[in-house]
Structure 1
Amino acid sequence: MKPRIAIDMDEVMADIEPKFQKIYEREFGEKITRDDYWGQKIYETRDETRYIRDFLHDKGFFRDLEVMPDSQEVIRELMEDHEIFITTAAMEFRSSFEDKYDWLQEHFPFLHWKNFVFCGDKSIIRADYMIDDHVRNLESFQGTGLLFTASHNIHEDRFTRVDNWQQVREYFKTQKAK
């Protein structure tokens, strides 16, 4: 039996930051860069930016997110020696389900729909590894958690960190060599 990897979607496979940067610029008439909100989420920068988070509830928000560089190639490679499951907390944002499903079908057509897990609480996930940007999901995970770097988790040091998909590739090459 192949080892299982549970992979989060938002901020791991799908780059949400450029979309939020565009919304911020449209709403406030000024550009914002990653350096401006490094260490927090973009909508946590000022009290008046908090409502930007509400856009996550809009139908279509998740449909046109950019693909994280190298994620497609590395996930395809990982499939050779691992079972891959995309585990996304779609229930928090009701309208995201269809968008996320369609996004996965478009950008990761080599993944079977049976390997998509749309859930609310990721503590139910049983796998050997989980790649996620949210510490709360890794804290309750029973396997090995890999923290995918995002602006909001840079101060976290309890989990093995991967900054990008090239580092994910290297991590699993090292595991295979053991």
Structure 2
Amino acid sequence: MKKRSIAIDMDGVLADTESQYLHYYEQEYGKRLTKDIFHNVPEAEALPNGSIFKYLYTPGFFRTIPVMAGAVEAVRRLQTRYEVYIVSAAMEFPLSLFEKKEWLAEHFPFIHWHNIIFCGDKSIIDTDFMIDDYCKNLDFCKGKPILFSAGHNAGITHHLRANNWQEILDILDVVPTN
């Protein structure tokens, strides 16, 4: 029997980009901010001085993003029942393609390279489920969309929402491993 398929976004879903932005901002300006600044604010506007775009073009930004809590174990568990694809719009920022590939190799070495899709437009993805933090990707999802909670999407109500990786597992009914 063929497994159902899942497309999983990287930034904001597997990779904790909000924490990375805050870390870079604190390093540059010496001011510690909290994730509250992202609440109901477009991600690019959350930090002052155009910092977000500056960081997205900084060498090492994508390579050193922290892993989202619970993501590694959850993806391992999902693989027992689903064909899992990592899908990332890695074309917009020149350094992201190579750095994201290296990041995945370090943190998710069990994901075969055949199951990694770097693209510019996720509307071409045809999986049974798509987990993403942006509606621009989920609104055109061919399967069932699952919105992964992030500050910038706090006000979105038209997709099924998961606040963390345990909720993803609950939604997808993955049997716990021993």
2: CA distance, partners of 1:115 / 1:145: 19
What corresponds to 1:88 in structure 2?
88
- The answer to whether the Cα contact below 8 Å between 2:71 and 2:165 also exists between their aligned partners in 1 is yes
> How far did residue 43 of structure 1 move?
4.6
- The answer to whether the Cα contact below 8 Å between 2:25 and 2:51 also exists between their aligned partners in 1 is no
2: CA distance, partners of 1:17 / 1:4: 27
- Unaligned 5+ runs, structure 2: none
SS at match of 2:173: helix
Counterpart residue identity of residue 9, structure 2: D
RMSD: 1.7
What corresponds to 2:10 in structure 1?
9
1: CA distance, partners of 2:90 / 2:31: 30
What corresponds to 1:101 in structure 2?
101
1:58-73 alignment, distance < 5 Å: 58-73=58-73
Counterpart residue identity of residue 12, structure 1: V
> How far did residue 42 of structure 1 move?
5.6
Counterpart residue identity of residue 128, structure 1: D
SS at match of 1:92: coil
Counterpart residue identity of residue 3, structure 2: K
> How far did residue 104 of structure 1 move?
0.4
1: CA distance, partners of 2:42 / 2:94: 21
SS at match of 2:49: helix
- The answer to whether the Cα contact below 8 Å between 2:67 and 2:107 also exists between their aligned partners in 1 is yes
Counterpart residue identity of residue 7, structure 2: A
TM norm structure 1: 0.91
1:1-178 alignment, distance < 5 Å: 1-41=2-42, 43-45=44-46, 48-173=48-173
Cα deviation per residue 1:155-178 (whole Å; 9 max; x = unaligned)? 00010000000000100118xxxx
Q: What fraction of aligned residue pairs are identical, expressed as a percent? A: 42
Q: Quick check: 51-60 or 9-18, which moved more?
A: 51-60
Counterpart residue identity of residue 17, structure 2: I
Counterpart residue identity of residue 66, structure 1: P
2: CA distance, partners of 1:76 / 1:52: 31
- Unaligned 5+ runs, structure 1: none
2: CA distance, partners of 1:107 / 1:117: 16
Counterpart residue identity of residue 33, structure 2: I
2: CA distance, partners of 1:80 / 1:42: 33
- The answer to whether the Cα contact below 8 Å between 2:148 and 2:164 also exists between their aligned partners in 1 is yes
Cα deviation per residue 1:20-67 (whole Å; 9 max; x = unaligned)? 112222333321111233222565146x43243222022221001111
1: CA distance, partners of 2:38 / 2:119: 28
Paired residues, number: 174
